[in-house]
Chain A
């Protein structure tokens, strides 16, 4: 995989994006001022320089600024199409400058787990526990003679007890105790 470079990073935060936009703007503005204020014998050269700078800024806006920023914000790259629409570049700039950062969306995913994800996965553990108890019951009348099979039976029973205790503590105490102690954690 290609290593991300300083000029073309893989992702950009809002702050990094805005700083780079400002630098690009200053460079384009400098080239423009040079063109406007250039003496007559240098106008042609300044014009070519301005065209090159604008072209490079246009390309850099796509590959060095917008794509890394959209990636960071976990937005589709289709927003890049806006640069080909009149005033679309300004809209794209507004989107990139305001879109939330990856860490924020990850944080919201974590908080999503604490509600529905926790309930869903704990219910699964409880259902596994019920199934294990039924499976153990179904072996009630059978005789397990072999040494290894006896070990496996009792180990499975041991595991079921751990799962049972876990589910009980998780359901009864876990989340209440956790919210109570959250303020006491080491900072």
Chain B
């Protein structure tokens, strides 16, 4: 097993988050909210410093206000639960990637026996580069939609469909 495989799952997760945030701003809010609550929890564990807690709350307040200003028509979800990646993938219409690639590469992340001994490498070797290219394409498309220049985007997408 080579170290590059460890980077596949974070890339897939980032792709899912990126796409779900683009398609569903309310879920973007939920992601941020759950991360804020997690930060508070970690601060409590780390000694419950009131100054740090206040700073964290202030940062959240700034985010909350900015979100409501940017999306006045979006109903802010009143849910504190952390949305699962499976749920986000479903909402982002990327569930097939979750069910296949994400689940398999999670085995490397969690040090599963067959992953750490290299026994599933043969099954994943063919997919490693392909799925990383898919993630890169999603990132590239997001950057283009933000105004970035990319003269080779279509050629790269065509090459990707050629190896798929």
Question: Which residues of A line the B interface, CB within 8 A?
Answer: 110, 113-114, 117-118, 120-122, 124-125, 127-129, 131-132, 134-136, 138-139, 142, 144, 146-149, 151-153, 155-156, 158-160, 162-163, 165-167, 169-170, 173-175, 177-178, 181-182, 184-186
Contacts and interface: CB of A to CB of B under 8 A. Distances in A.
B93 interface: no
B52 interface: no
B125 to A, nearest CB: 7
B149 interface: yes
Question: Would you call the interface of chain B mostly helix, strand, loop, or mixed?
Answer: helix
Given A110-B122, A121-B133, A139 B146 contact: yes
Contacts of A181: 1, 118
B82 interface: no
Contact of A147 (B1, B66, B152, B160): B66
B136 A160 contact: yes
Most A C-beta atoms less than 10 A away, residue of B22, B63, B140, B160: B140
Given A117-B126, A170-B2, A186 B11 contact: no
A152 B70 CA distance: 15
A109 B147 CA distance: 41
A121 B18 CA distance: 24
A143 to B, nearest CB: 10
B133 A152 contact: no
Contacts of B14: 155, 158-159, 162
Contact of A178 (B1, B18, B139, B147): B1
Given A128-B136, A162-B7, A118 B143 contact: no
Contacts of B37: none
Contact of B153 (A120, A131, A136): A131
Contact of A159 (B22, B130, B136): B136
Contacts of A177: 1-3
A175 to B, nearest CB: 7
Contacts of B142: 152-153, 155-156
B73 interface: no
Interface string B1-22: 1111001101100110110011
Given A135-B144, A147-B67, A155-B18, A118 B125 contact: yes
Given A139-B146, A159-B135, A177-B1, 15 more contacts: A113-B126, A117-B126, A121-B133, A121-B163, A124-B133, A127-B159, A128-B132, A135-B144, A138-B149, A155-B17, A156-B140, A165-B7, A166-B4, A173-B3, A174-B2
Nearest to B137: A128
A182 B117 CA distance: 9
Interface string B115-138: 001110110011011101101111
B112 interface: no
Contact of B11 (A113, A122, A159, A184): A159
Contacts of B135: 159, 162-163
B4 A174 contact: yes
A142 B15 CA distance: 23
A149 B71 CA distance: 12
Nearest to B70: A147
